[in-house]
Chain A
Amino acid sequence: MIAPNKDLAKPATFDVRVLRQAGPGRESKWERFRIPYEPNLNVISVLQKIARMAKTAAGEKTAPVAWDCNCLEEVCGACTMVINGRVRQSCSALVDRLLEEKPGEIELRPMSKFPVLRDLVVDRQRMFRALERVDAWVPVDDYLDRGPGPKESQEAQEGRYPLSECMTCGCCLEACPQYTKVELTREPGETDDAFEARRQAAHDGSFLGAQAISQAVLFNDHGTGKMLGDERMEALMGPGGVHACGNSQNCVAVCPKEIPLTTSIARAGRQVTVYSIKKFFDR
């Protein structure tokens, strides 16, 4: 990692352009804010300043920008957005670095692959649903005392650990050419449940994406988790499964957790092949 260039002249202020949208289906517009420069700011502290000012660079009153965050230390996955054209976590986006990349201005946009709820807040339900599609869990009998889990080598643990750091942030999906937005609007008179069912069906037919494929691999690597291997293979083979990946490798380049996503995808592809051959002969 390169230390921020401390010699670069620091501006007195810098501008932040935010793509704003009041709600789903509403049109979006850019708004510009002017922030006094301080050392060691990140995008979250900039958004906090905007919330306190609630005024545009032109001095007009405006509503504070809505955004998502929780941990502020790049571990919860909440604060993903597109910053200067690149998808990333806003809590770990340091202003000094961003201004080095592009002096004078920072541009913030919501992710484009998920429905916008407001401003920079998007709805990522589809990612959590994808975890259900691939049975991303270990099927234990119960939560009683049955001694430890399966013994595991250091090597196996070191293989599983990076995959289990996935924080469902969505960077990999934003960057993926095969992952396209699914956005439904409610029909007049449609109930919550009916809308939810329609949405789930739409999600279930769409591409799983690198995040969920990698989670399927993670659970296939666990002694007990692999007992659901066949079910996971069915999901990976089905509509929106691993075959939909075009292997462009964009996902792995943007994952903030440096998860070896393309390795996971390749492994999932091989597991699917083996499984379909087995299934063919078992008929």
Chain B
Amino acid sequence: MSEQRVLVVGGGLAGLACTMKLAELGVKVDLMSLAPVKRSHSACAQGGINSVNGLTRQQGDNEWKHFDDTVYGGDFLQHQPPVKEMTEWAPRIIDLMDRLGVPFNRTQEGFRDQRRFGGTLYKRTAFAGATTGQQLLYGLDEQVRRRKAEGLVSMYEGWDFLGPVVDDQGRCRGAVAQNLVTMQIRTFKADAVVVASGGCGLLYGRSTMSMACNGSAVSRCVQSGAKYGNGEFIQVHPTAIPGADKLRLMSESARGEGGRVWVPRTPQDSRAAADIPDDERYYFLEERYPEYGNLVPRDIATREIFDVCVNDGLSVESGKQCVYLDLTHIERSELDRKLGGILNIYEKFTGENPRDFPMKIFPAVHYSMGGMWADYVRTAEGGLDPGNPVNQQTHVPGLYAIGECDYHYHGGNRLGANSLLSCIFTGLFVAPGVKAGIESLGAGATDEQFDTLHQKTLAAKQAEHDALLKQAGDDGENPYEIHHLLGEEMTKAATVVRRNDQIEAALGVVNDLGERAKRCSLSDTDAWTNQNVVFTKSLRDMFPLAKALLKGALARDECRGAHFKPDFTMPGLTSEEPAERRRQAESWCDAFEEKNKKWLKSTIATFDDAGEPTISYEEVDTSLIPPRPRLYGLVGAEMIEEVWKERQAVKEAEPAAV
């Protein structure tokens, strides 16, 4: 057999970690990315990366608790074995990144410093200034460059992945891609393709994500037979700086380091923030969630900020929705040392200094929990079988999904600082399995027998491209305008609060926009560095994902994680009378169990040739930690918890039913 190669699509943390590990194992890798890999979206991550560590261990923390926080935070919508494996790897991953030279912040004594992030009570988060993602990305980028210099890795930066090449047996044998400068289309022969193309924030027009996060690569895979899981779960980050071109994140670490969220009790109080006395400020997170305060998980913080602005009418400004995120009570030198980077972002893009004035922030779309469906093989202990080629493989054999574009790990909601971890983990973990997988193949993709397959795929893509260029004309649709409208519709119908009538209406609008996108005419018909044509292709490919997202959200009549439907909330207890209160708690738990029976399932979208999604469901492996209600801030939480625990105890005492 001829030499075997792997193609990695995407050079963020996940793609780089995978490339680096494959190269270490002696596998030759082609690494493809829209942007130079060092410019990938992962560079934007500010806050940090989670793992249990020496310090938290002494406070009673362990891998199991990190695992538990992750599945609880994700509202139990994750298969538990991959998550367990990830949290077990976490401490080793931070150590590895430390060895690679990532300049993590240090304590006086020279150990790595840690901070607290939302959704946990321990200081689990390692960080490097306020640019942890940038530093981790560079650490991996440097290793990949080293492997490139050794000749194990070839770089294809500035290439747009147009889709996998799938043979008659349904196995992935490579990919077809287009050069962004020369516009050349060619195929890449590969015995496995690992897609690490990140999230799809651009479905919403503006988000905290980068311009390359348009979901195009994923959409092209699902249109070739891969499936899409949990599309409706989109994380809306509680704190972002609203901007004309982008919503820039204000990291959760601003709250982690003591930032306080508040609004004036008087609506649109015209006084300067500093002139408003403490008792006239409404620290609503601290009041509503005394235990977690400003560090409640993201979905809760997001909804509360939305609620205070939209429902209570307490937005700081009258024309614009926003609340204060206040750091002015913290000493400047400490702020500069720990948060300098993110504070500079605020200052740079708004012209105001957050060390002197509280920042004005509002929620923004931030992370795609959903993504390509990927498989795994579980061990008897409940972890993953290392080196098994099935781990992270999509429905198309030989096609893998890792990082933000796979659907594992975060469930209904992502815990802060867990994504960088999942990206590096999946990248490292998948490599030995990919190697084992390609070694077991009878024939390699570079064998002659696949030549015609590659030629055929190439010709088809070339024809599509040529047809698109010919569509030029004055009367066609403008792709940028359509993207703008799509973003507006998605933001309105499928972010913080979701209502079925709105989602249904949005589906109609999105369908129309999808039709219009087919009639786009290009204002640029050049055969050289044509960004117009690249954008139009990615725009068209946004529609299958947008529809899957909306359809999934429409069907899911419950509240879970980031998916919140006010019509299906489960209100807290109303009675103060102990017996009645207990009875209410009993029926609350009954209702919760009913709801889980129906909805504790992953949404799986399958796509037809036209890109139309059909929704089905998949059982979730919750065998390690039984699901329990997520009770942050609910009235009567203690009583519900008591009843719930009693029921669990009874269940455990029963002989296991077969």
Residues of chain A touching chain B, judged by Cβ–Cβ distance below 8 Å, are 1-4, 22-23, 38, 40-42, 44-45, 48, 51-52, 54, 61-64, 66, 69-78, 91-92, 94, 117-119, 121, 124, 128, 131-132, 135-140, 142-143, 145-149, 151-154, 156-157, 160-161, 164-165, 167-168, 219, 222, 224-225
Contacts and interface: CB of A to CB of B under 8 A. Distances in A.
30 contacts: A44-B245, A51-B531, A54-B524, A61-B474, A66-B529, A70-B210, A72-B210, A73-B248, A75-B134, A76-B44, A77-B38, A92-B349, A94-B351, A117-B181, A121-B181, A128-B36, A128-B38, A131-B145, A137-B142, A140-B143, A146-B99, A151-B110, A151-B111, A157-B106, A161-B129, A164-B128, A167-B38, A168-B36, A168-B38, A224-B101
B41 interface: yes
The 10 A-B pairs at the shortest CB distance, nearest first, are namely A137-B142, A118-B529, A54-B523, A149-B98, A63-B524, A76-B39, A45-B245, A138-B101, A149-B99, A72-B246
B106 A152 contact: yes
Contacts of A161: 103, 128-129
Nearest to A62: B523
Given A135-B146, A165-B134, 10 more contacts: A3-B352, A40-B244, A42-B244, A48-B480, A52-B478, A64-B531, A70-B210, A73-B44, A140-B100, A164-B138
B93 to A, nearest CB: 9
Nearest to B110: A151
A148 B112 CA distance: 9
A70 B39 contact: yes
A81 B38 CA distance: 18
Interface in B238-255: 243-246, 248-249
Contacts of B101: 137-138, 149, 219, 222, 224-225
Contacts of B478: 52
A70 B41 contact: yes
A76 B35 contact: yes
Contact of A143 (B145, B428, B481): B428
A143 B529 contact: no
Interface string B524-563: 1010110110000000000000000000000000000000
Interface in B301-337: none
Contacts of A75: 43-44, 131, 134
Contacts of A124: 36
Interface in B1-45: 20-21, 24, 35-36, 38-41, 43-44
B427 to A, nearest CB: 10
Interface residues of B, number: 70
Contact of A164 (B40, B135, B246): B135
A22 B184 CA distance: 17
Interface string B458-495: 00000000000000001000101100100000000000
B211 A137 contact: no
B148 A132 contact: yes
A23 B148 contact: no
A153 B110 contact: yes
B212 interface: yes
Contacts of B529: 23, 66, 117-119, 121
B596 to A, nearest CB: 37
B107 interface: yes
Contacts of A22: 526, 528
Contacts of B103: 152, 157, 160-161, 164
Contact of B146 (A78, A137, A152): A137
**In the complex, which of the residues B20, B96, B248, B428 has the most CB atoms of chain A within 10 Å of its own CB atom?**
B96
